[in-house]
Amino acid sequence: MADDLQDEVKKVAERIPGCRYVSLVGYDGITVAQHSIDGNFDIGLHDAELSSVMLASREVKNNLTLGNEKELIWLTDNAYFIIQPIGEDFFIYSCLKAVGSNPGVARIELNKVKEIIKQIIYL
């Protein structure tokens, strides 16, 4: 199972123009699989911090009864993050270059791979 997840994460990262890395993470902040293309920073630290963001987002969503969370997009000066929940326990995200990347392709590719990952994890 772990090798299958790693292969899927690697394939999606390599299909996204301007991708720095893709990571599959548990809401506990533990990395399940990741593939770095241009990541000169501590991806594990990013995974842990983004799990905090996702937990806070989940809390707000629940408090406001907004329905199921589909995607969180976060743009900073240095990076463009596209984060998508997978079930109740995991999320997958891509970290793109803030300039010269293709967030549209990233969204499409993450949508495709999250269905594959659901099948691997939950069945």
Confidence (pLDDT) at 107: 97
**Partners of 93 in the beta sheet?**
23, 83
> According to the model, what pLDDT value does residue 58 have?
94
Strand pairing partners for 95? 21, 81
Q: What is residue 22's predicted lDDT score, i.e. its pLDDT?
A: 97
Q: Which of 66, 101, 55 is nearest to 82 (CA)?
A: 101
Total domain count, the chain = 1
pLDDT given at position 118: 94
pLDDT reported for residue 1:
73
Q: What pLDDT is stored for residue 122 in this prediction?
A: 87
pLDDT score of 2: 79
Residue by residue, DSSP assigns 58-121 as HHHHHHTT------EEEE-SSEEEEEEEETTTEEEEEEEESSS--HHHHHHHHHHHHHHHHHHH
For position 38, what pLDDT does the model report?
Answer: 87
pLDDT per residue as tens, the chain (123 positions): 779 999 999 999 999 999 999 999 999 999 999 999 987 889 999 999 999 999 999 999 999 999 999 999 999 999 999 999 999 999 999 999 999 999 999 999 999 999 999 999 987
pTM (2 decimals)? 0.94
What is the domain range of residue 63?
A: 2-122
Whichever domain contains 37, its CATH number is 3.30.450.30
* pLDDT at residue 4 in the model: 93
Q: What is the distance between the alpha carbons of residues 81 and 84, in angstroms, rounded to a whole number?
A: 10
